[in-house]
Structures are given as structure tokens and as C-alpha cells.
Structure 1
């Protein structure tokens, strides 16, 4: 915990994140220290995994954003885009978990 990572996302967005929680089987949470996104003052994400009563795993994703007023409507309009990003990230996470289970 407390580990920082710099990343560049599709579209050229850059960020500096600090890991708050890292439990590979249950939870990953981080806060964004610096974001190359106009109007974002603060951001935090949590990915929580839990056994599903139907088999497999349930993913609970929480994102908290503090954005400046002029760009707030743009973030609301971006919700469908964020949902697609989450789906793709969840699929990659699922593949990583499956690969880790196979490789011990």
C-alpha cells in the first residue's frame, strides 16, 4: 500500500495514482494524485471482488469524482463510456484471475 504508479491511458490521458488497498483476491483501491483530465480535482476507485451466489465472482466497482462545475455535465454524459471501459477492464481482470489460477 502507498505504492505510486504513473500510467498513460488510451487517448493520451496520464495519471499518477497511489494504491490504498491491494488484496488480489478481494480488493484493489487507489486514488488519483494527478490526472491529465481537465476539471478533475480528485478521484478514487475501488474494485471489490466477492463470491457470487450463482458461481464465479461478483465485481463491485465504485468511483468517486470531484470535478469542477463547468465540466460536471460532461462527466455525467460520459457515464456510458465509463461503463464500457469498466466492462473491458473487468474482462481483462477475469483473464488475469483465470491465468493466475492455472499457473498457481
Structure 2
């Protein structure tokens, strides 16, 4: 059953009890990566394996996301800075233990490509926080796999002239 999480602001990215930060380099330009993240929300399942459904809600001010295993999120977009940053807060979820969650994707030009940094900022009871730190390698693997798939997709799109 879905339950409401504690609303947090963008400062939670720096202040969260658990902050998992992952980074990768892609050959695509920041504008292209941003478009895939923020404007082509329904395309997430094509490159982020853990995501089975993603769709914008509230005229683009929110998102509905479903993950493998049945976890669901209703989110509010907290920052949408084209080519630079995309952040969203989870408002409701069926994930056990989670009390607050904010995710941020930072995009920085690097050579002809983009440095992508994903911050997963969360809070929950001590047992949840401990379990989340144990899940760090798996989340990192999922992130790296997703970013590689996204880069492949964007490279193919660019080659096709789209």
C-alpha cells in the first residue's frame, strides 16, 4: 500500500542521512542527456533496466515510476535546469522503510561529452539506512548499466540524425 513520505527540499541532497553518489562519463552532450531524463520520461524503461514504467504527471510537474519487483513512486519534480540538473522528490511509495527520498542528476560538460552524477539521498529507520548502504554496489551497478545504455541510445539517435 502506498504511503506518503516526508516532504524534503533540494537541500536534502546535501543533508540526507544516507547519500549515495555515482558518476559516469558519456559521449552525448548535456542537452541530449537532459532531454532523455526530463523531457522523454516515458523512454526511461528503454535504457534504465530497473524501471518498468515512467510517465509524467500533473502536466510534467511530477512523475509516476514503477520498478522491477513492484516498487512504485509518485514524484514531484524539484529542479529542471536544461542541460545541467534534474531532481525529483518521492512523495508516495510502497517501498518499506523509506521515509524521505530525493534524487538528483547533475550534468557537466566534459570534453565533447557529459559527466553524469546521480545522487540518491534518503532517510529511514536505522535498519533501512544500513540496508541501503549495503545496497550501494547494486545501485552503482544499475546506474552504470543505465548510463551506458542511455549513451548507446543517444549515440545511435545522433548517428541517425534525429
What band does the TM-score fall into relative to the shorter chain? 0.7 to 0.9
From the two aligned structures, give the one with the greater strand fraction. Answer: 1
Is 1:62 aligned with 2:119? yes
Counterpart of 2:106 in structure 1 is 48
Using structure 2 for the length normalisation, give the TM-score. Answer: 0.55
Structure 2: distance between partners of 1:83 and 1:37: 19
Counterpart of 1:83 in structure 2 is 140
Task: Identify which of structures 1 and 2 has the higher relative contact order when contacts are C-alpha pairs closer than 8 Å and 6+ apart.
Answer: 2
Counterpart of 1:9 in structure 2 is 67
Query: Cα 1:94–1:25, aligned 2, differ >3 Å: closer, same or farther?
Result: farther
Does the Cα contact within 8 Å between 1:31 and 1:43 map onto a contact in 2?
Answer: yes
**Count of residues paired in the alignment:** 102
Structure 1: distance between partners of 2:106 and 2:154: 14
Using structure 1 for the length normalisation, give the TM-score. Answer: 0.82
Is 1:33 aligned with 2:91? yes
Shift of 1:96: 5.0
Q: What 5-or-longer segments of structure 1 have no aligned partner?
A: none
- Greater shift in the superposed pair: 36-45 or 91-100: 91-100
Secondary structure in 1 aligned to 2:77? strand
Structure 1: distance between partners of 2:72 and 2:158: 28
- Greater shift in the superposed pair: 3-12 or 88-97: 88-97
Shift of 1:46: 0.7
Across the aligned residues of Structure 1 and Structure 2, the Cα RMSD in angstroms comes to 2.2
Secondary structure in 2 aligned to 1:40? coil
Structure 1: distance between partners of 2:143 and 2:82: 18
Query: Cα 1:62–1:13, aligned 2, differ >3 Å: closer, same or farther?
Result: same
